[in-house]
Homo-oligomer: A and B are copies of this chain.
């Protein structure tokens, strides 16, 4: 794509995890990027913020916005934000929605992204949500994103036009790993673990999905893990 076309601005929701890093690499091919990070009282907030800045530095991003979502921390209802609910060990093949589900979380992320997009004049929002390979969160499904995009169209100025892009929505984790490698995404800078802030635990849902993804892709995960006890 030409340099002129690349000057169109897109917002990327960058948590600092594997999926958002690969989404960044995809968006980076065609757009100027503005990075949005949301801290919602999750246990590993500091570690994720460190990953956010490392990845944003890698892509030499000037526009960065870090926002605290006090609401989700106060509302609770999830093992990720409520200290009284323990983070479960991986149970990837169990049916139902796991305790790490943060009620309606993605609506909060997308609301912030849409408000910022309207102020900056950005016409695209990228989010690294994954439907099939995620843990069954209802707010990670393609039909939720289509519905939210319709709400953005109706709830912003008539001249505002914002598209929600979810390039990984139908991908398996192994494909995401492969795409990331192809696009030279800095996977070594990412953080996925729900539980720890030092070495990734290797046992929570998120670590288990990630490790299974690298394994299926036949690639080695470049981050270190805590030794098994």
CB atoms of B118 and A114 under 8 A apart: no
Q: Is A74 an interface residue (CB 8 A)?
A: yes
A155 to B111, CA, bound (A): 13
B112 with A138: CB separation less than 8 A: no
Per-residue contact bits, chain A 96-127, to B (CB 8 Å; 1 contact, 0 not):
01000111111110111011101100000000
Q: Is the CB of A154 within 8 A of B147?
A: yes
Closest residue of chain B to A82 (Cβ to Cβ) is B119
Instruction: Tell me if A83 is interfacial: C-beta within 8 Å of chain B.
Output: no
A106 proximity list for chain B (CB < 8 A): 155
* 4 tightest Cβ-Cβ pairs between the two chains A and B: A77-B119, A139-B155, A103-B118, A107-B111
CB distance from A131 to the nearest CB of B (A): 12
Q: Distance (Å) between the CB of A222 and the closest chain B CB?
A: 32
Return A28 CB to nearest CB of chain B, in Å.
23
CB pair A152–B104 under 8 Å, yes or no, is yes
Q: Which residues of B contact A97 (CB under 8 A)?
A: 157
A144 and B138 contacting across the interface, CB-CB below 8 Å: no
Bits for A73-104, please: 1 = Cβ < 8 Å to B, else 0.
Answer: 01111000000000000000000010001111
Between-chain CB contacts (< 8 Å), 7 pairs: A75-B119, A76-B119, A104-B115, A108-B111, A138-B155, A138-B156, A148-B155
Binding site for B on A (CB under 8 A): 38, 65, 67-72, 74-77, 97, 101-108, 110-112, 114-116, 118-119, 138-139, 141, 143-144, 147-148, 150-158
With A103-B156, A107-B151, A139-B155 already in contact, the answer to whether A71 and B75 are too (CB < 8 A) is no
**Chain B residues closer than 8 Å to A147, beta-carbon distance:** 147, 150-151, 153-155
Complex: A76 Cα to B115 Cα, angstroms: 9
Q: Are B155 and A104 in contact (CB under 8 A)?
A: yes
Known: A104-B115, A148-B151. 14 other contacts (CB 8 A): A38-B71, A67-B74, A67-B75, A68-B70, A71-B112, A75-B112, A75-B115, A104-B156, A107-B107, A107-B155, A108-B112, A138-B157, A143-B154, A150-B151
